[in-house]
A and B are shown apart, each in its own frame.
Chain A
Amino acid sequence: KQEVTQIPAALSVPEGENLVLNCSFTDSAIYNLQWFRQDPGKGLTSLLLIQSSQREQTSGRLNASLDKSSGRSTLYIAASQPGDSATYLCAVRPNNNAGNMLTFGGGTRLMVKP
């Protein structure tokens, strides 16, 4: 059974810092990995999706990397801003023949202080 872990569970940084959020998964037979952002009491916003054949994806100040063989992904946020404060979730989708369910990590709650 796939298990997804996110470290740290919570992170507080001053504005302007570069930071890295970590995601690890136990079964490397994945189709893709998605990073999401969730604001308190709200739904999920997809940030980046990395296919299993890709090493990284970039969107603005966000960069996500994937090392499938070691079961790890990182989300790098450059020049953090108070508006980046939210919970960040990673989720993996199994290989095609195993269905289309996502397995989520517990999230990292990020606070960026002005």
Chain B
Amino acid sequence: ETGVTQTPRHLVMGMTNKKSLKCEQHLGHNAMYWYKQSAKKPLELMFVYNFKEQTENNSVPSRFSPECPNSSHLFLHLHTLQPEDSALYLCASSQEAAGGLYEQYFGPGTRLTVT
């Protein structure tokens, strides 16, 4: 257990559905991240939140909409997805403080299949 949980662990959705992925960290960290891991491609950063404010949006299509209501919770709202969005979506957190290690801790991921 890394202290980062994700739900659901598996999700199958149609292209017209709307769903949300949830991430919760129990580590007291102040930064949270969404990553996408597709088959045969390196992990790609999607979004970064520092102190609940979005600081990175790595050219992600608008059909992915992040939400960070507090420093412990992060959501990824999905709508009108494409089959190529099928991937493992990973959430991570870290403590961002001057001089710190900035080690990132990852959740178990949500395996998303878009049909």
Contacts and interface: CB of A to CB of B under 8 A. Distances in A.
A81 to B, nearest CB: 22
Interface residues on A, range: 20 to 34
Interface residues on B, range: 20 to 34
Given A43-B108, A46-B103, A104 B31 contact: no
A30 to B, nearest CB: 11
A30 B40 CA distance: 25
Nearest to A89: B43
B115 interface: no
B96 A100 contact: yes
Nearest to B58: A101
B90 A44 contact: yes
Interface of A: 4, 31-32, 34, 36, 41-46, 49, 51, 89, 91, 93, 96, 99-102, 104-107
When A and B form their complex, which 5 residue pairs have the shortest distance between CB atoms, in order from nearest? A44-B106, A104-B43, A43-B108, A43-B106, A104-B42
Given A49-B101, A51-B101, A99-B48, 16 more contacts: A31-B102, A32-B103, A41-B111, A42-B108, A43-B106, A45-B106, A46-B106, A89-B43, A100-B94, A100-B96, A100-B102, A101-B48, A101-B56, A106-B41, A106-B42, A107-B42
